[in-house]
Amino acid sequence: MPAERPRTRPPSPATLTRDFGWAVLYLLGEDKQADLAREARVSTAVVSDAIRRILLSLPPDDAQRPYADKRFAPLVAMLRDAATERSGRMVESAAAG
């Protein structure tokens, strides 16, 4: 029988807001992950993992399934495009888990 994965709590709204902000600042701005980490007093790995989690949680780029809130569709598309441009490996490794 396979071992059960430990259950984790879902991230709080404050954590999601922070992580989304990091993704926007890193992918659409000029900020570096190390600078974001230093400012937040966390490791660069924390920032990198948070950005990956945000990318994984974005709705799929699928015209057949419209966004629940169309106001966010342009931002989601911009984040996906920026992530692909900045580092295709980041998106691929996030999808691989």
Question: What are 3-51's pLDDT values in tens digits?
Answer: 666 678 888 999 999 999 999 999 999 899 999 999 999 999 999 999 9
Nearest to 26 by CA among 95, 70, 92, 85: 85
Contact 47, 40 (CB under 8 A): yes
92: confidence class by pLDDT, cuts 50, 70, 90: low
> Max CA-CA distance within the chain?
48
